[in-house]
Structure 1
Amino acid sequence: MIRADIHMHTCISHGQATVEEMYQAACQTGLDYVGFSEHSPLPEGFFCRLYREDFAASFPGYCQEVLALKQRETTGPQVLLGTELDWIPSNMPYMRQLLAAHPFDYVIGSLHYLDEMSVGYNANWNCSEEEAFARFTYYYRVMAHMARSGLVHIASHPDFIKLHCFDLFNYWLWQPGSREVIGETLAVLRQCGVVMEVSSAGLRQKFCEPYPGPMIMDMAAREGVLISLASDAHRPQEVAYAFDELARYARSYGYRESAIFIGGQRTMLPF
């Protein structure tokens, strides 16, 4: 049994349920901990068409709602306040100010952008193979920089870039030098104490593979990178999604514990 799900979203950004509705769904799963990790509002010049127009203005109120839920007496899972920080290194002062404004238990670092280019839902892969391979390499270089920053506790869905180029990404994994680049990044995660997220969200995609896929999962286990387990839920029925399958997947690589963070301090939970 996986005891914690600390990556989920609400209708404040582009989820489909309120904080209370997501919490009530968590209460039905047997979880001991549930973490709300809403996306961070984007700085000027960046835009996600999936987010509500009033997302940035609503974010402080959302944080207060989660903090109130943390204080409420309940027999359900313990509530944690996190955030999924869009890692945009050209806006370091913005990111630091945002993280200082709220008492987050943990910060999940996510690479949805490479500079100003989206690698997610607005991604454009109409490029040469050479350019695509350069993007993949740069993606992991930026991830290493993120880990060294000291601002994040968890590196989320560490091969998210495969979302709309799954076959091309997996082809790149077998090219000379690609695994060395990923291995260097995984070593930085371990050295900096940044946990790698293993997410069932990929099982909801057409490629039906967790984040990260088997090759990176094996490399991380061999490197000794710690993991957290998550659903990246955007609706109540996705809370703790496919956690039995996710537990089997992680255990097949030798993992027996997953990490959570309370007040910035790491706690390991057996599963």
Structure 2
Amino acid sequence: MKFDLHTHHDRCGHAESGIRDYIEAALGAGMNVIGISDHSPYFESTEDHPNPRTAMAKSEFPRYIAEVLRLKEEYKDRIEVLLGLETDYFPEHMELHRKVYSQYPFDYIIGSVHWSGGIKIFDRKRWKGLTPEQITEHKDQYLDLIRQSAECGMFDVIGHMDALKANYPSLSQVPSKVLDEVLKVIAERRIAIEVNTSGKTKECGGWYPADDILERALYYGVGITFGSDAHRPDRVGDEWEQVRLRLKEIGFKEWVFFRRRQKQIVTL
């Protein structure tokens, strides 16, 4: 059973091609399940499309839902298409987003922290001039936001858990005071973390999260899923088999995907 829960398309403004192209790429990659999870609009904004290079417009959201559901039906005899979404975690706006999302038949929702301390996590400049103590504070502040996102009860999957290291690879060597507590909360809430293979497109050059976090996740009983975070159709399912084998080496016996917000267990 091959699945990929994390894909984007051209509505978000920074991905290539349309939804159908990702489904066809999944078929070509031998996938059994493909999740469509484009970036949620910023519903808290008074503007329809405040960040056209980041997320889809509010006016596009119903059309996104309708297109995925239509393609789900069209492809049902060839591949299972899941209706998903990736949304930023902004604590002050989550209740508004919860009300909007509750109107639609999502299979799963990915919660991702893209901003921490008011700065984008991929911003290289955030690290300039910081002391080792301040770098540790940045890391723990980011991880604490992930903890909060798990506690909010809105997400099925935590997206790219240590992506703060993307353009600062040595962050992986910085110890964290809060990581274990974050993983405990994720496990208690029965949420999955994804192994996200898009880290290869950043300076860190590896998956999110790193092996040491996956080992701790196994210890605490955290569920694992797979997401390529594809922004081009040719990255759908990227390194799926390598991830599967590595998870088995670490000691995982299973991983999961979600259908109608219910966890589906797949043997590794």
TM-score, L = length of structure 1? 0.90
- Quick one: structure 1 residues 50 and 209, their matched pair in 2 at CA, closer, same or farther if it must change by over 3 Å? same
Give the counterpart letter for 1:213 in structure 2.
A
> Take 1:72 and 1:49, find their aligned partners in 2: how far apart are those partners?
29
Contact 1:69 1:79 in 2 (8 A): yes
What SS is found at the alignment partner of 2:144?
helix
Give the counterpart letter for 1:6 in structure 2.
L
- Quick one: structure 1 residues 74 and 250, their matched pair in 2 at CA, closer, same or farther if it must change by over 3 Å? same
Question: Which residue is 1:244 aligned to?
Answer: 241
Question: Which residue is 1:116 aligned to?
Answer: 118
How far off its partner does 1:44 sit?
2.5
What SS is found at the alignment partner of 2:246?
helix
How far off its partner does 1:145 sit?
1.3
How far off its partner does 1:59 sit?
2.3
Unaligned runs of at least 5 residues, structure 2? none
Contact 2:168 2:203 in 1 (8 A): no
Residue among 159, 170, 181 paired with 2:162 = 159
> Take 1:214 and 1:205, find their aligned partners in 2: how far apart are those partners?
17
> Take 2:33 and 2:125, find their aligned partners in 1: how far apart are those partners?
33
What is the RMSD computed on CA atoms of the aligned residues?
A: 2.1
1:39-50 correspondence to structure 2 within 5 Å:
39-42=39-42, 43-44=44-45, 48=51, 50=53
Asked if 1:140 is matched to 2:143, the reply is yes
Asked if 1:235 is matched to 2:238, the reply is no
What SS is found at the alignment partner of 2:257?
strand
> Take 1:212 and 1:243, find their aligned partners in 2: how far apart are those partners?
15
Question: Which residue is 2:223 aligned to?
Answer: 226
> Take 1:162 and 1:71, find their aligned partners in 2: how far apart are those partners?
39
Question: Which residue is 1:58 aligned to?
Answer: 60
CA deviation string 1:99-121 (max 9, x = no partner): 22322111111000125322135
> Take 1:56 and 1:116, find their aligned partners in 2: how far apart are those partners?
23
- Quick one: structure 1 residues 205 and 72, their matched pair in 2 at CA, closer, same or farther if it must change by over 3 Å? same
What SS is found at the alignment partner of 1:38?
coil
CA deviation string 1:51-87 (max 9, x = no partner): 37x6332222111100111122543210100111110
TM-score, L = length of structure 2? 0.91
> Take 1:203 and 1:122, find their aligned partners in 2: how far apart are those partners?
16
Question: Which residue is 2:2 aligned to?
Answer: 3
Contact 1:123 1:164 in 2 (8 A): no
> Take 1:96 and 1:207, find their aligned partners in 2: how far apart are those partners?
33
Contact 1:218 1:253 in 2 (8 A): yes
**Where in structure 1 do 4 or more consecutive aligned residues deviate above 4 Å?**
45-49
What SS is found at the alignment partner of 2:85?
strand
What SS is found at the alignment partner of 1:219?
helix
> Take 1:47 and 1:126, find their aligned partners in 2: how far apart are those partners?
28
Percent identity of paired positions between Structure 1 and Structure 2: 27
Higher deviation after alignment, 96-105 or 184-193: 96-105
Contact 2:25 2:233 in 1 (8 A): yes
> Take 2:59 and 2:220, find their aligned partners in 1: how far apart are those partners?
41
Asked if 1:201 is matched to 2:226, the reply is no
> Take 1:32 and 1:111, find their aligned partners in 2: how far apart are those partners?
28
What SS is found at the alignment partner of 1:229?
strand
Residue among 169, 172, 190 paired with 1:170 = 172
Contact 1:227 1:259 in 2 (8 A): yes
Question: Which residue is 1:81 aligned to?
Answer: 83
- Quick one: structure 1 residues 121 and 62, their matched pair in 2 at CA, closer, same or farther if it must change by over 3 Å? farther
Question: Which residue is 1:262 aligned to?
Answer: 259
Unaligned runs of at least 5 residues, structure 1? none
How far off its partner does 1:97 sit?
2.4
- Quick one: structure 1 residues 213 and 101, their matched pair in 2 at CA, closer, same or farther if it must change by over 3 Å? same
